[in-house]
Structure 1
């Protein structure tokens, strides 16, 4: 059984306009419909052939022309054999010398159109073989002519050769343009890829020169605070130790990010990604900033992608609390409620709710916020097929609620 990829395509099948794709079919249909009755009438009335023989020749010489739109070489086999057979049959009847032999005018028209279709489809080697076969047969028919070398076989050879040459030239020109377009597309894709790599390298340099430098300074200052400031109370010393640990963890994540940005083949260090088990550390670090944080953990086993998304959502939500509502009471809840009937599979619910700050902040903790936090959370939720709700509360607080599917098929 022939597959779809192996089926021959019609001439001009790749054209963008419909009328161009239909043009070969229209031309072949017009030639076949017009030449069939004309050939039959000419062979019977002018050349004096028997009606049955004339009908068979007319059908064999014109009916295969529509096939040339899809398989021109097979159509040529049938038409060429029928034309030669017709020439030999005409030798058996007496006809006027003014009539063309071995090819009546209708056969000339059909054969030239067929050669044009061959040139548009077949390779150069095939076209040379077709023209050579035509020339050899016509030379042989010249010697079989009843009145000497007065046939129009030479005309058919010339016109067929011109049609083959024209069709082949058009086909090769189209192929050259197609290859050029493909190369331009590849070059454009390569240019875009190179631009992307350059931009990633630039971002990596900026991150290294600015963020990593400042984080390193924070780490060093926090680590050495106990040696430089001998009178630090124990709780303040513990706070500096926590700051140094957080900064070192951030530096580790920054190094992995830089490794990915600098090379498209780099996948970062092979370290476990944070998940639900690390959410408690986020809550503890936030509570040390002065605001009470209530945490309801979840011991359920969740897919790695879901756990990482939940961790990042809580991380961003708590960071927003520290930025915009310092000191506000916050509640973080992770749970996997039982699915209700008809509600699909189980889902991890991530809830971060904070109340209003105890006192209005004197100013924003960070100047010029980008608003990328909520965008990032929505993207992470969308990647795993979940939903996210985020917005202010009537009492002045803020609520972030995400529902992440736990079934892999829900988000693949």
Structure 2
């Protein structure tokens, strides 16, 4: 028999969250030890007629190890089992009445059953089976020396011990199953979050492909037509433009293959041109017609807005409005775009602000069952992509605020 705890002694229920649960095994073991120690001495001497010194030694050997059972139940079982067998043999030397239990007195059965429960809560199934077989074997072997005959009641220790071992084992396996389930749920939640992030990044990459492909197409056309648009080009310059056009065409081919890896059977609708700042007003109007009310404050931008910034701004507004429809249907919403003047050492920032109030009572039914992306995960990825900042959070009145600041000059995100 080998213990299930190879890393060192650890008390029963030591991992419980409540202190009273951790102390429960110690309390039960202490009560059993204090109650059984004097009771065993009295029963063995007064009822069975055993010598007082021998009775005291057996009582200590049978009751004191119950405290050890909280930490080392298998080691305690070796001591108690040996003491119980020794006590049964010692009782053969005295003449006790036939009405009394033998080979194991009632006090010994109570302590042994408590010990078996501790064993079931700690040890593996194989160890529990071996413990029960040893108990049954000793019980039957002693029965051949029974002074007053051997019947069903003499097997009481084997029966009750087996029930306690079974009960403890079931409770232990159920606790382990719950612990493994909790661990799997934690792992699954982390994997779901990771998958959501990867899916959103792939979605953004598919959208940005169209933006980059447009620029590469322009480079290809300009390089191919340079010799027709520009007069008297030197041969080496003409060859350079031809090389640039060839490289651009190869890059477009590689990007198409990359897009084939990123796309799947569910992305057929993403072949349309990607939206930008100019389409935000249409998006707000469509949302207002469907649910309303939504206020929109546009801004005039003199400088050319990078396509990635415009696409990110559109998607942020789209996801924010979708969240309003799902979580606060009918709430008054305000969408605004503004440009902050460049600060010292920095560039101009496009501020995208979506603020909604609390939903009316009673809340209306949601317009959408699912969003366009993955909520805040997608917003953060888009803002990080262009090197901006994102500030989201609830408002004191029960509403919600989404504020994104996107640089109008593209920079490498950190």
- TM-score tier by shorter-chain length is 0.5 to 0.7
Counterpart CA distance in 2 for 1:206 and 1:84 is: 80
* 1:90-129 equivalences in 2 (<5 Å): 90-129=91-130
Summarize deviations over 1:28-77 as a string: whole Å, max 9, x none. Answer: 11111111111122222332222221111111001111211222111111
1:367–1:79 Cα change, 3 Å: closer
Summarize deviations over 1:150-199 as a string: whole Å, max 9, x none. Answer: 58431111111111111122222223333333333333333333322211
| Poorly superposed stretches of 4+, deviation over 6 Å | 364-367
Equivalent residue for 2:196? 195
Superposition deviation, residue 324 in structure 1: 4.2
Equivalent residue for 2:216? 216
Say which SS state the counterpart of residue 80 (structure 1) adopts.
helix
Structure 1: tracts of 5 or more residues without a match:
233-240, 264-288, 290-322, 329-351, 357-363, 380-412
TM-score between both structures, scaled by the size of structure 2: 0.54
Summarize deviations over 1:113-166 as a string: whole Å, max 9, x none. Answer: 111111122222222211111112111222212222258431111111111111
TM-score between both structures, scaled by the size of structure 1: 0.55
Counterpart CA distance in 2 for 1:377 and 1:196 is: 18
Contact 1:43–1:49 under 8 Å retained in 2: yes
- Higher RCO by CA contacts (8 Å cutoff, separation 6 or greater): 2
- The CA RMSD measured in Å over matched residues stands at 4.4
Structure 2: tracts of 5 or more residues without a match:
233-240, 264-302, 304-339, 354-378, 391-414
Equivalent residue for 2:167? 166
* 1:23-38 equivalences in 2 (<5 Å): 23-38=24-39
Superposition deviation, residue 5 in structure 1: 7.6
**1:78 correspondence with 2:79:** yes
Equivalent residue for 2:180? 179
Contact 2:33–2:63 under 8 Å retained in 1: yes
1:155–1:353 Cα change, 3 Å: closer
Equivalent residue for 2:65? 64
Contact 2:101–2:154 under 8 Å retained in 1: no
Contact 2:120–2:165 under 8 Å retained in 1: yes
Equivalent residue for 1:55? 56
Q: What count of residue pairs does the alignment treat as equivalent?
A: 270
Summarize deviations over 1:203-255 as a string: whole Å, max 9, x none. Answer: 1101111x3134325545765786565499xxxxxxxx9xx9xxx9xx99xx8
Counterpart CA distance in 2 for 1:92 and 1:18 is: 47
Say which SS state the counterpart of residue 69 (structure 2) adopts.
helix
Equivalent residue for 1:408? none
Counterpart CA distance in 2 for 1:53 and 1:190 is: 64
Equivalent residue for 1:140? 141
